[in-house]
Structure 1
Amino acid sequence: MSFIPTTASRGDHAHPFYYEPAPEVWRSVPGYGLLEASSHGRLRNGLTGHVLKLRLNNSGYLQTGFTVDGRWRTANAHRMVCLAFHGLPPHADWHAAHKDSDRTHNHADNMEWQSPQENCSDPVRVYRYKLSAEKRKADGLANPKPLSGYAKRRAEGKARGEALKAAASRDHARILSLFNEGQTVQQIATAIGRAYATVKRVITLSGSMTGAAQLQMAERLAA
């Protein structure tokens, strides 16, 4: 908040360290129609003088909604103040930054344009992000949200895949066991309800054999 040094009297004594708030100044926000921002961080309709209500968003910034050329728009108050009192940013991706790192302190003298690198390296911002990340992790562990959409379909698909893998593993062992007992591929396929090609592939890839064993296996695979 801006203050103007002055003196105030209490009886016959002056108080040189008394400060009074600086007068509120309003300026147009370039590119936002009739929207005006004040040096105290407020926003209003420049035509009617109606002061807009600000709400705290999920990121901790004050924002509002308004109409520009018949279209509804939302904007963060701190960026509107920075545009009105400090002009357009040097580059399109620059941030309207708070000098004191207080996201709700939107007075004009507390705002400045910073590059993304400068703004993200702010120690207060880094500390706040770390706390937020730790809190999100703790909340997620304590109150896991039910899966929905893509995450739900992915989890269900993974569960089905694991079930099929387990079933295939059991079938693999049974196929080899029946084959070692002397049954043919067709007999095994009928017994376990699997495709002939699947049973044949399991037996073929089950291991290497030589000589008479290979010849016997080839004959039974052809059966």
Structure 2
Amino acid sequence: MNHSTPQGPIEWRPIPGFPSYEASERGDIRRAVSFRHYPAGMVLRQRRNRFGYMTVRLSERGIAHDVFVHRLVALAFIGPQPTPQHEVAHGDGSRDNNHWANLRWATPSENALDRRRHGRLPDTRGEKHPMARLTNDLVLALRSRRRAGALYREIADEFGFPKLTVYDAVTGKTWSHI
């Protein structure tokens, strides 16, 4: 069932896995089936969890589920989760904008890149990490010594770091951003 707004009709679709509920294209969730004193068409109240994401409580077969609104909208409008590892990513970085066009399935690394781009994930790579023992300049010096023919063991002894730390930094397993 669709309703109209000044912007036009609102599309509602059933939510896979929750047959008693529907999601709107804008991110609202409503009951599709009447139950006790809850009529069909009743839009559910959303709550913000401690991480800033909107959630709703859905009840199926007597079991209550607290579910992310963005996940329900993605299931209804985008389709099934491609793999168990995929997450719902917000295109604009706003956790409040659960319009289906703002959502997409993404891998955890893609979602982390989005969060970094939106300023929600601080860049703690390399010397910006509070536990970093190396610096950008030191990594460049390690790489320069290796290019000059020094053995990893020699470089490690010279700079006072474990051989594996030197190897990882020189080969790019760590510090790949520089």
Which has a greater percent of helix?
1
Equivalent of residue 71 in structure 1, options 51, 60, 63: 63
SS in 2 for 1:37: strand
Aligned residue for 1:62?
A: 54
SS in 2 for 1:117: helix
SS in 2 for 1:130: coil
Aligned residue for 2:100?
A: 108
Aligned residue for 1:35?
A: 21
Give the CA deviation at 1:126.
6.7
Give the CA deviation at 1:123.
4.6
SS in 1 for 2:30: strand
Alignment of 1:23 with 2:9, yes or no, is yes
Q: Does the Cα contact within 8 Å between 1:33 and 1:69 map onto a contact in 2?
A: no
Unaligned runs of 5+ in 1: 1-19, 132-223
Give the CA deviation at 1:99.
0.9
Unaligned runs of 5+ in 2: 1-5, 34-39, 124-178
**Displaced runs of 4+ in structure 1, greater than 3 A?**
123-126
Give the CA deviation at 1:125.
6.2
Aligned residue for 2:134?
A: none
Q: Does the Cα contact within 8 Å between 2:112 and 2:121 map onto a contact in 1?
A: no
**Larger Rg over CA atoms:** 1
Q: CA RMSD in A?
A: 1.8
Aligned partner letter, 1:128: R
Q: Does the Cα contact within 8 Å between 1:101 and 1:124 map onto a contact in 2?
A: no
After TM superposition, the score normalised by the length of structure 1 is 0.47
Alignment of 1:45 with 2:31, yes or no, is yes
After TM superposition, the score normalised by the length of structure 2 is 0.59
Distance in 2, Cα, partners of 1:32 & 1:49: 15
